Amino acid sequence: MKLNWFSPLPPAPTGIATYASQVLTVLGTLADVTAWTDQPTWAASLEQSVQVQRYQDWRQIPWRQAHQADLNIYHIGNDVTFHGGIWQLSRRCPGLVVLHDLELQELFCGIADATPDGWTDYVAGMTRCYGLAGAQAARQLYFKEQPTATIAHHYPLTEWALENAIGALFHNRQACQTATQTLAQRWHLGYAPLPYAAAPTVAQRSQTSPYQLILFGYLGANRQVETIVRALAQMPERDQFQLHLYGQLADPRPIEAAITQFNLGALVHIHGFVSDPALHQALATANLAFNLRSPTVGEASGSQLQIWQHALPSLVSQVGWYAQLPAGTVAWVRPGSEIADIQTHLRQFLADPPRYAAMGYRGRAVLEAHHSPQDYAEALVEFARTCRGATDRRASGFSTVTAQQMTDRAAMPLADWARSGSANSRDLTALAQAIAALTGNGNEDGDKVS
């Protein structure tokens, strides 16, 4: 099977690039893969597994070359820098969309900011997906009457992300099951656990005080960094911990203010971005990780898999994908009760460090058993074959996209006619039957509505 792959590639500073590197290494052995990128550079090691094809801009794809593949795979997340252009491609050339985030308001607001008439398109998209309520929410967001996170939870825009897609792959099982209730009529839906290549061995770590606590990645407001700092600050036992922050703090000011306010300068260390080896070393020697996400945007967490790779115990928010993690592999923190739960866990950790260490090893076992890139790549290829379809009795995966486009084209005039009384249910039935017959989305006869 020939596949085109569109995602950020290493060394792009995003976990999806790391994911891509790990998956492509295996995927290249299962299919003929071309990874497409608009990055000026990419890790040379990728070319041992796949062909890499550069393009200047999403508007300038050499489509004759791209159409040699059976299917395009598009990776969609919230960072408009990496995913804005990919989404624009996905809506023009139907393919398989891998959803790295499910609540995608940040992506679409970023696209709105970056394109002429972008906000007009954004309001139209919200209206199309959610009707009048969506239009009102769009205006509230535009005029900053509501934060993006609040809007995102109620109006995730997942459907807009799948505009013209053939199918969607989720990394969140519950989200996939929920989506099946509403989206399965139109899209092929699949689930595969987010993969991560486990390093062969786990380093032995010190189990004595002071214990090393760690946070890493893009540390936005939903990572609850300030909450963690304040929870630690209020504990008499705080001197038994050292808290290390790696990565980018979205807004360092409240963190620095809290450190100053609570005299935590000797306990809390802001490292910023470090090299991958340095981060791995830090994880290898840490005793407990924080991986809170409140709110979550429905993502499966590559950071969590990285934590498990080091058999590191972790505190996670009891929400979304994190709430579905096997019991005993993480320690849950309830949204709204962060400070109390963090303090409870830290005290329990002090009372029984091996108990938490065992939690980390159980997480490592889950990683090895269920998150292998090999299993993921095999599942992806199988799902791609399903999406592509085109057997003797089953229409090509493109057929649902075509059927939807035909329906959309006919819907507007038909709605006008229906309002004026010129069209009736027989006309609608005839239209549905015609679309079904032409696109093979009916039964075997092709002349009945599916």
Which residues of this chain interact with another protein, rule CB under 8 A? 61, 63-64, 67-68, 89, 92-94, 390, 395-396, 398-399, 401-402, 405-406, 409-410, 430-431, 434-435, 437-440, 446
**Least distance (Å) between residue 145 CB and another protein:** 37
DSSP 217: E
**Of 51 and 407, which CB lies nearer to another protein in the complex structure?**
407
Q: How far apart are CA 246 and CA 274, in angstroms?
A: 7
**Least distance (Å) between residue 55 CB and another protein:** 12
**Least distance (Å) between residue 409 CB and another protein:** 6
**Of 344 and 405, which CB lies nearer to another protein in the complex structure?**
405
Q: How far apart are CA 312 and CA 364, in angstroms?
A: 8
What DSSP string runs through 351-400? H-HHHHHHHHHHHHHHHHHH--HHHHHHHHHHHHHHHHB--SSS-BTHHH
**Of 353 and 446, which CB lies nearer to another protein in the complex structure?**
446
Q: How far, in Å, are 38, 72, 119, 161, 383 from residue 92 at the CA level? A: 17, 11, 20, 12, 21
Q: Which of 61, 45, 385 is nearest to 53 (CA)?
A: 61
Q: How far, in Å, are 157, 175, 299, 379 from residue 193 at the CA level? A: 22, 12, 11, 10
**Least distance (Å) between residue 435 CB and another protein:** 7
Q: How far, in Å, are 167, 178, 318 from residue 382 at the CA level? A: 12, 22, 32
Residues 6+ apart with CB under 8 A from 184: none
DSSP 443: S
**Of 38 and 256, which CB lies nearer to another protein in the complex structure?**
38
**Of 89 and 161, which CB lies nearer to another protein in the complex structure?**
89
Residue 101: φ, ψ to 5°: -130, 155
**Of 110 and 440, which CB lies nearer to another protein in the complex structure?**
440
**Least distance (Å) between residue 441 CB and another protein:** 9
**Of 91 and 370, which CB lies nearer to another protein in the complex structure?**
91
**Least distance (Å) between residue 317 CB and another protein:** 39
**Least distance (Å) between residue 76 CB and another protein:** 17
39 and 104 in contact (C-beta within 8 Å)? no
Q: How far does the chain reach from its first CA to its final CA, in angstroms?
A: 29
Q: Which of 1, 64, 53, 10 is nearest to 28 (CA)?
A: 1
**Of 69 and 198, which CB lies nearer to another protein in the complex structure?**
69
Residue 40, both tokens: 């000026």
**Least distance (Å) between residue 94 CB and another protein:** 5
Q: How far apart are CA 76 and CA 64, in angstroms?
A: 24
Residue 50: φ, ψ to 5°: -140, 165
**Least distance (Å) between residue 171 CB and another protein:** 26
**Of 345 and 388, which CB lies nearer to another protein in the complex structure?**
388
